[in-house]
């Protein structure tokens, strides 16, 4: 377990909520050996769970603020910039694979084309997924406050066949409406819907999930029961994992009971996935993932046979 806060530091709020401003002891410019030590730390943190899962630059930054490391960085905007810039150089040099970091903040819109029917099967058969949830007693979704968190959880959600929604703060009412309509459109399915939510613990963050739950309840069909659970970040987790905190913005009058704030990215990525995955798996029928994976492999072999037949016909 990593402890990413030094209680001897004086922490003060800054305008950019994505980083921490602190006043540690001043230090000299890093030597070549110290610089290489920091690079090694970033590489180890980035590759820790790769390729099974991805991480984000922000998660690596919080790990680098651990004062017990041989070469920690400051919990400041400058410290974040150092980790960010070094991560770029380390990827360009080949020490960190490009795919190690998840980035859902930008995406393109593509039109997929195929040469013929056999080419279509060859390129898409790997996308076939069995329905893990067909015999479950409920449905499940995961909502997160930021795309950074979504990038870290994306592969787990894909494997467990649950929809993942990065709401990016207070989501527009159309976003929640469209998500609800996905469930409303299947009139033969009135199973309860379980939503797991992960977001920042700050004056705004503790209100985002409240607003989201309200909008989902507003738009879901009356016969669909909604269970909405915030599984992170909460005060118990802040204490248990000794997550780095900063004082609230005194100008923010929302949620006066929140005295210190914590970003969801301060939670180590592996722990975050370890919190979510058991929650989702508990809703699935016993051995559903294993049984479905076996069925998927059988179906893909069938598609292989169809592809070969089409190629013979087209040749």
pLDDT in tens, the chain (315 residues): 444 433 333 333 333 444 444 444 445 689 999 999 999 999 999 998 888 888 889 889 988 988 889 999 998 889 999 999 999 999 999 999 988 887 765 666 778 888 888 888 788 877 778 889 999 999 999 999 998 899 899 999 999 999 999 988 776 678 899 999 999 999 999 999 999 999 999 999 999 999 999 999 999 999 999 999 999 999 999 999 999 888 888 889 999 999 999 999 999 999 999 999 999 999 999 998 888 888 888 888 888 888 888 888 887
pLDDT of residue 172: 66
68 and 138 housed in the same domain: no
270 and 294 housed in the same domain: no
Residue position matching structure tokens 């699935």 = 284
238 within some domain = yes
167 and 264 housed in the same domain: yes
* Percentages of the chain per state (helix, strand, coil), in multiples of 5: 45, 10, 45
191 within some domain = yes
Q: Which of 186, 173, 273 is nearest to 221 (CA)?
A: 186
180 and 265 housed in the same domain: yes
280 and 132 housed in the same domain: yes
Q: Which of 261, 233, 234, 235 is nearest to 248 (CA)?
A: 261
Spatial distance between the Cα atoms of 160 and 121, rounded to a whole number of angstroms: 24
113 within some domain = no
203 within some domain = yes
83 within some domain = yes
295 and 271 housed in the same domain: no
Q: Which of 252, 253, 233, 251 is nearest to 243 (CA)?
A: 233
80 and 192 housed in the same domain: no
Cβ neighbours, 10 Å, residue 309: 12
pLDDT of residue 67: 86
248 and 231 housed in the same domain: yes
Spatial distance between the Cα atoms of 266 and 127, rounded to a whole number of angstroms: 33
248 within some domain = yes
pLDDT of residue 160: 95
C-alpha pair distances (Å), 182 with each of 88, 179, 267:
38, 5, 31
133 within some domain = yes
Domain count, the chain: 3
- Residues of the domain holding 50: 14-100
Residues 6+ apart with CB under 8 A from 167: 143, 144, 145, 175, 208, 212
258 and 153 housed in the same domain: yes
Domain stop point among 80, 100, 120: 100
106 within some domain = no
227 and 241 housed in the same domain: yes
pLDDT of residue 217: 95
pLDDT of residue 115: 86
Pairing between strand 139-144 and 193-198?
A: parallel
50 and 179 housed in the same domain: no
71 and 136 housed in the same domain: no
Cβ neighbours, 10 Å, residue 7: 8
């Amino acid at each position: 377990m990593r402890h990413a806060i030094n209680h001897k530091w004086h922490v003060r709020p800054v305008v950019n909520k994505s980083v921490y401003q602190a006043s540690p002891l001043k230090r000299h410019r890093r030597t070549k050996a110290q610089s290489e030590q920091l690079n090694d730390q970033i590489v180890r943190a980035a590759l820790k769970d790769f390729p099974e899962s991805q991480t984000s630059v922000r998660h690596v930054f919080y790990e680098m603020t651990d004062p017990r490391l041989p070469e920690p960085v400051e919990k400041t905007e400058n410290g974040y910039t150092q980790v960010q810039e070094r991560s770029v150089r380390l990827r360009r040099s080949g020490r960190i694979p490009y795919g190690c970091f998840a980035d859902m903040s930008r995406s393109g819109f593509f039109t997929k084309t195929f040469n013929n029917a056999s080419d279509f099967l060859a390129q898409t058969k790997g996308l076939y997924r069995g329905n893990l949830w067909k015999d479950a007693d409920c449905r499940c979704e995961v909502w997160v406050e930021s795309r950074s968190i979504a990038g870290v959880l994306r592969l787990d959600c894909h494997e467990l066949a649950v929809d993942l929604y990065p709401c990016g703060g207070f989501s527009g009412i159309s976003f929640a409406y469209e998500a609800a309509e996905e469930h409303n459109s299947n009139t033969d399915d009135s199973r309860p819907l379980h939503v797991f939510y992960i977001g920042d613990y700050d004056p705004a963050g503790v209100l985002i999930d409240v607003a989201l739950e309200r909008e989902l309840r507003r738009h879901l069909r009356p016969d669909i029961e909604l269970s909405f659970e915030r599984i992170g970040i909460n005060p118990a987790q802040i204490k248990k994992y000794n997550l780095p905190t900063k004082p609230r913005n005194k100008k923010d009058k929302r949620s006066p009971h929140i005295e210190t704030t914590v970003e969801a990215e301060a939670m180590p990525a592996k722990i975050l996935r370890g919190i979510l995955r058991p929650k989702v798996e508990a809703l699935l029928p016993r051995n559903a993932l294993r049984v479905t994976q076996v069925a998927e492999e059988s179906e893909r072999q069938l598609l292989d046979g169809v592809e070969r037949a089409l190629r013979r016909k087209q040749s």
